[in-house]
A and B are shown apart, each in its own frame.
Chain A
Amino acid sequence: MKRDDQAMPQLAAWEQGVGDVDPTAATVLSAQRVEKTYRNGTRALDEVKLDIKRGEFVSLLGPSGCGKSTLLKMFAGLEEPSHGHIRWWGKNLATVGAADHTLAMVFQEATLMPWASVEQNVRLPLDLSRMPRTESDVRVKDALKLVGLDRFQDAYPRELSGGMQMRASIARALATRPNLLLMDEPFGALDEFTRNKLDADLRRIWSRQDLTVVFVTHSIYEAVYLSSRVVVMAARPGRVIADVPIEAPGAGGMRDDAFRIAPEFMGYCKILSDYLTLANQENQEGGPRDTAHH
């Protein structure tokens, strides 16, 4: 069968770790002067330019209303920019179709089907693309194992804690073996302990796969801990104000609990915090950017 022939090399590529980001790596996602103006005149995004390379873990950090979720929705193809355009692997989303160009999204809430078991929920995207059962069985199993839910495959969402529901939601995204994973404040509603645990697991999953992640958050700590790069955004209008690469100290730049209390970690937090403060001040003064386009 043709399908299986294609699946094998894809699988191999996906499981191959990519390690540090190669500066010459291919651009996975590219926003070119993207603007979003709503019908009521609100400018959600103003000329956002952003390139995301293969293997990066990029966080979009900013206050509410900075358009970070809107930008992510555009990256998912769920919203259209008013001006400018977005390219996925250099193409339109409609023409992206190759097996190694897949994208998945994890939403703010777990958004699981309450009438279906964890296993059925995770299988959903595979069913929708009419993947043969034998293949989807393997993928669902792998994905559940990856997020540590293999013992809960028959549970229903309401029987799971918030953290475990979110794990199921991540497993659903991972089951498609995505090359690009978009996450919209996935852990925002969880308690700090659960959030830290999921952050660590996510980082581990990312480091082992050929996976590019765009992660929306309003937590500075989460952004620093997770990312290879943090894009800071400001509100009114939503725009990118800084782009900060994050490098953990020590050999291999391990992101463990030690990193959370390292002076470098605090240093990055301070930088990002300063940027955010700056952005807020600009807004309060009704800065020039706010009126320039009206």
Chain B
Amino acid sequence: MTPLITNPKFLRVAAPFMIGVVLLLAWQLICMALQVPVYLVPTPSVIARTLVADWGLLSDSLLVTLKITFMAFVLSVLLGVAIAFVFVQSRFIEVSLFPYAIILQVTPIVAIAPLIIIWVKEPTFALVICATIMALFPIISNTTLGLRSVNPGLLNLFKLNKATRWQTLRRLRIPSALPYFFGGLRISSGLALIGAVVAEFVAGTGGTGSGLAYQILQAGFQLNIPRLFAALFLITVTGIVLFLAMMALSRVALAGWHESEMG
């Protein structure tokens, strides 16, 4: 029986957790010692109390943000994969269209969110579009790269056995692309959340007016800093949970064969 502390699996959970506890403690003690006013930096304990007290309000907002994030994420996966499949059909298509996909990546979402919110009447839909634009690119680029990253030897083998285009796609290109696709999912899930929050910020009080970003804005106006921190905390936790969920998904799908999910 090895001591728990040297078990790498235990360490992977315990070490970050300990760091978190130490940081929170330090935060709490410093704020208390220096008597920092609560409207500047609230202590973790005050934030926790606010989280419980305002849970009704905050959980409703969390659900709204989650809904937009989830819809945008699903939409970007569907669209991204479809676009990647179109791209790999021919070099010509990819070369002609890829620069336009890059526009998605380099356009600051804050700059175009107001336009989209003006153009699209339905506020939820407008926010979903903003978040999708944000989350789409990693799916497109990773899946395209994956569908192209096929072992040339295996490609020769398929050619030698007179495989049809469809057989090569289904039995070779898609499995080869999975590790890249899951890498894209990981990045994209976080971006969908950021996109949802940013778009809601831009929409401000004129938007749907109930997501977490709206709570942060309102709390800021009212100088209710503990609530602002509580909302921020929820966004952070959501992001981490999304990331872990994508890791788990990737582990389940690639377990047993891909280097990235071994050991």
A128–B153 CB distance below 8 A: no
- The interface stretch among B76-84, B135-143, B158-166, B223-231 is B158-166
The tally of residues in A whose CB lies under 8 Å from a CB in B reads 23
* Set A107, A116, A128, A157: member contacting B162, Cβ < 8 A: A128
Point out the residues of chain B lying under 8 angstroms from A118, CB to CB: none
* Residue of chain B at shortest CB distance from A158: B257
- In the complex, per-residue mask of A55-98: 1 if CB is within 8 Å of any chain B CB, else 0: 00000000000000000000011100000000000000000000
* Residue of chain A at shortest CB distance from B154: A111
A113–B154 CB distance below 8 A: yes
Question: Is the CB of A148 closer than 8 A to any CB of chain B?
Answer: no
A156–B257 CB distance below 8 A: yes
Identify the interface centre among A76, A115, A156: most chain B CB within 10 Å of its CB: A115
* Set B156, B158, B171, B258: member contacting A114, Cβ < 8 A: B258
Question: Is the CB of A162 closer than 8 A to any CB of chain B?
Answer: no
Point out the residues of chain B lying under 8 angstroms from A157, CB to CB: 257
Question: Is the CB of A129 closer than 8 A to any CB of chain B?
Answer: yes
Point out the residues of chain B lying under 8 angstroms from A103, CB to CB: 160
A-B contact count (CB 8 A): 51
How many angstroms from the CA of A115 to the CA of B153 in the assembled complex? 15
Question: Is the CB of A124 closer than 8 A to any CB of chain B?
Answer: yes
Question: Is the CB of A109 closer than 8 A to any CB of chain B?
Answer: yes
Question: Is the CB of A216 closer than 8 A to any CB of chain B?
Answer: no
How many angstroms from the CA of A76 to the CA of B161 in the assembled complex? 10
B257–A111 CB distance below 8 A: no
Question: For window 139-190 of chain B, which residues contact chain A by CB distance below 8 Å?
Answer: 151, 153-154, 156-163, 167, 171-172, 175, 178
Question: For window 238-263 of chain B, which residues contact chain A by CB distance below 8 Å?
Answer: 256-258
Identify the interface centre among A107, A108, A116, A176: most chain B CB within 10 Å of its CB: A107
Question: Is the CB of A105 closer than 8 A to any CB of chain B?
Answer: yes
A114–B157 CB distance below 8 A: no
Distance (Å) between the CB of A109 and the closest chain B CB?
6
How many angstroms from the CA of A100 to the CA of B71 in the assembled complex? 56
Question: For window 199-253 of chain B, which residues contact chain A by CB distance below 8 Å?
Answer: none
Chain B interface: which size bin? Answer: 10 to 19
A77–B160 CB distance below 8 A: yes
- In the complex, per-residue mask of A147-170: 1 if CB is within 8 Å of any chain B CB, else 0: 000000000111000000000000
A115–B257 CB distance below 8 A: yes
How many angstroms from the CA of A104 to the CA of B156 in the assembled complex? 11
Point out the residues of chain B lying under 8 angstroms from A105, CB to CB: 156-157, 160
* Residue of chain B at shortest CB distance from A104: B160
Distance (Å) between the CB of B251 and the closest chain A CB?
14
How many angstroms from the CA of A103 to the CA of B160 in the assembled complex? 9
Distance (Å) between the CB of B198 and the closest chain A CB?
37
How many angstroms from the CA of A116 to the CA of B151 in the assembled complex? 14
B258–A125 CB distance below 8 A: no
A128–B167 CB distance below 8 A: yes
Distance (Å) between the CB of A89 and the closest chain B CB?
17
A128–B156 CB distance below 8 A: no
* Set B157, B161, B256: member contacting A111, Cβ < 8 A: B157
* Set A78, A108, A115, A116: member contacting B160, Cβ < 8 A: A78
How many angstroms from the CA of A158 to the CA of B256 in the assembled complex? 9
With contacts A113-B175, A124-B171, A128-B163 taken as known, whether A107 is within 8 angstroms of B256 at the C-beta atoms is no
* Residue of chain B at shortest CB distance from A114: B257
A129–B162 CB distance below 8 A: yes
A111–B151 CB distance below 8 A: yes
Distance (Å) between the CB of B154 and the closest chain A CB?
5
What are some 18 contacts across the A-B interface (CB < 8 A)? A76-B156, A76-B160, A78-B159, A104-B160, A105-B160, A108-B153, A109-B153, A111-B153, A111-B156, A113-B171, A113-B175, A114-B258, A115-B175, A115-B258, A125-B157, A128-B163, A128-B167, A129-B162
Closest 9 CB pairs of A and B: A111-B153, A128-B161, A114-B257, A125-B161, A115-B257, A115-B175, A128-B163, A107-B153, A111-B154
Assuming A113-B175, A128-B163, A157-B257, what are 6 further A-B pairs, CB within 8 angstroms?
Answer: A103-B160, A104-B160, A125-B161, A127-B171, A128-B162, A128-B167
